[in-house]
Amino acid sequence: MGRGQKEHPFGPITSSLPVIEQKFVEYLLSNPAISNAQAMRMAGYKGTESALRKRAYRAIHKKEVLEAIREGGALQLGGMVPVAVDALNQLIKDPDSRHHYKAVEGVLNRAGMPEVKETKTTVVHTLDRNDLITKIVALSQRLGIGFNSEKLLPQPVIQAGDVEEQPPEDG
């Protein structure tokens, strides 16, 4: 921001731009249906149509201009909050609206009271020791590793109460 130059209402990023780019950003945000070239012309750029399009193209691809557009857009969105809150309030007050439940749920979620969802999962492990040993032997042979299943895989010792057998479910 130059000496004596007033801060732009959008904020410091927009203030740091040359005046023509500040106006370019303003016109883009206040007239979203116009082209970049039209916004640059409205901002006061003088020149041929070709030069105008090139200048608008360069401006819209500048990091600072894009940040200024975001800065101005954030202000516009902030100004819409009261309208959005009122619209949400109207939905909540109308239990016949098809959006009523979604509105109520959204408010509760944002107020820190989300719906608690619970999932119950039952995991059943089936293990056939002989199939497992066959797979280990095949893998070790494929990798060229010597393997003696009797030395490396002793028979398990099962004590009473270690295993609870259940009949297979019919499915």
Domain locations along the chain: 12-81, 128-158
Radius of gyration of the chain (CA): 35
∠ CA 113-116-120, nearest 5°, is 170
- Range 105-133 average pLDDT: 86
Query: What's the pLDDT score for residue 70?
Result: 96
pLDDT at 92 over 60: yes
Q: How confident is the model at residue 87 (pLDDT cuts 50, 70, 90)?
A: very high
Amino acid in the structure at residue 10: F
CA atoms within 13 A on the CB side of 54: 6
Residue pair 13/64 in contact (Cβ under 8 Å)? The answer is yes
Which region among 28-42, 61-75, 124-138 has the lowest average model confidence (pLDDT)? 124-138
Provide the mean pLDDT of the chain: 87
Please tell me whether residue 146 adopts helix, strand or coil conformation.
coil
Show the tokens assigned to 152: 């490396």
DSSP 148: -
What local confidence, expressed as pLDDT, does residue 169 receive? 73
Contacts of 91 (CB under 8 A, 6+ apart): 97, 99, 100, 103
8-state DSSP, 162: S
- pLDDT at residue 156 above 90? no
> Coil, strand or helix: which one is 43?
coil
Angle formed at CA 124 by CA 123 and CA 128, multiple of 5 degrees:
145
* CA pair distance 6, 39, nearest whole angstrom: 22
* Number of Cβ atoms within 10 Å of the Cβ of 33: 5
What whole-number distance in Å separates Cα of residue 2 and Cα of residue 5? 5
